[in-house]
Amino acid sequence: MKQSKMDVTLCEKDALQDLLDAEKLLMNYYAAALTEGSSKAFRKEIMKHYAAHAETQFKVYEQMLSRGYYEVQPAAKMLIDQKTETFAKAQKQIAARG
């Protein structure tokens, strides 16, 4: 049996997750367009749209967080320290090449 749009109803959590995923995807597209853009006017317009979607994405995230739909797991200090060290090493390597 084929379902129509009338037969499918998203709960609030699923609708917010879908919106969050869509905003993240749009931000990825705008980031790609920004890196490929060759004129200042185009890049300025893309940045404007990117910023607008970043704001919308964050608002959706905040709504999900406030409703208990999105759980943020705190990172262990050891993991943070490891990532900090890795980043510092990468910075040194880049600086040495420059």
Summarised one tens digit per residue, pLDDT across range 13-56 is 999 999 999 999 999 999 999 999 999 999 999 999 999 999 99
Residue 36 to residue 18: CA distance in whole angstroms: 27
This prediction has a pTM of: 0.67
Could you tell me how many residues make up the chain?
98
pLDDT of 9? 78
Neighbours of 57 (CB within 10 A): 19
pLDDT of 19? 95
- For 51-77, what is the mean pLDDT? 93
